[in-house]
Each structure stands twice: as structure tokens, then as C-alpha cells.
Amino acid sequence: MPLMPKRVKYRKSQRGVVRGNATRGNYVAYGDFGLQTLEGGWLSAESIEAARVTMTRVVSGEGRYYIRVFPHKSVTAIPAETRMGKGKGEPEFWAAVVKPGTILFEIGGIPEAAAKECMARVAYKMPFKCRFINRRPNV
């Protein structure tokens, strides 16, 4: 079941514009390794769920993973071949607004090689370019 808010004040949200780099949520805070976005955009709840399933399979009882984004934004769409007017479409899916530099997922309690492999699989499912980062740089 994809993530979505339990309740919202307004069902339909405006599109908005993703500008600038992330100033919050741009460093590894909970795990040892993270997946950082290099581009901005919307990350659908389905993509987050696909990443969660992938991380669960890789971790499987050894380590722990953290999801750092939540889909608060409702994205609406009008059915195909509909005439103009008749208002805004119904909410189709939920998305997280992501700026470049945001940490999407973190993982801890497993070796770096396993974490790198896990995050590579997760990054393949993401709609934008991502990179693997450490909590602490190699000294």
C-alpha cells in the first residue's frame, strides 16, 4: 500500500515550482549510508514503496533502513479526451516534493559493500539521478 497522508486540509494542491537546493534533510542523520538526489522533482508514493520493498529484501533482519521523504502533495489529472472547463481533475496519486541534495533513504547496520549494492538497486527505481553517500568520509 503506497504512503499517503491520513487526512489533509485541502484535497487538491497547486503544482508549485521546485527551485534551489535542499537546505534541510541534506545530510545522513540516522543510518550510516544514504541515497542523495542530484535533481529535483516529484517522487511518487509508488516509487517510495518500490524502494522500500527493495531495501527490505536486502536488509532482511541484519540492518535497518530509514525513509526520509513522505508524499504530502496530491497530484491531480483530468481524464483523456475531456473538453475544456469542468474544473480541476481528481487526485491521481501522492508525491513527495524533492529538491536537489535531499537524502531520500538511509541504511545502517550492514557493511558498506552491501549498502552500496542495496542503494544501487534503489537508485535504479528512482525517477532522477542519485548518488551514494556516507555519514562520515573515509579518513
Three-state SS for the chain is: CCCCCCCCCCCCCCCCCCCCCCCCCCCCCCCCEEEEECCCEEEEHHHHHHHHHHHHHHHCCCCEEEECCCCCEEEEECCCCCCCCCCCCEEEEEEEEECCCCEEEEEECCCHHHHHHHHHHHHHHCCCCEEEEECCCCC
Whether residue 58 is contained in a domain is answered as yes
Whether residue 112 is contained in a domain is answered as yes
Whether residue 108 is contained in a domain is answered as yes
- List the CATH number of the domain containing 52: 3.90.1170.10
Whether residue 106 is contained in a domain is answered as yes
Whether residue 5 is contained in a domain is answered as no
Give how many domains the chain has, as a whole number.
Answer: 1
State the pTM of this model: 0.92
Whether residue 84 is contained in a domain is answered as no
Q: Which pLDDT tens digits describe the chain residue by residue (139 residues)? A: 789 999 999 999 999 999 999 999 999 999 999 999 999 999 999 999 999 999 999 888 889 999 999 999 999 999 999 999 999 999 999 999 999 999 999 999 999 999 999 999 999 999 999 999 998 655 4
Question: Domain range holding 105?
Answer: 46-76+91-134
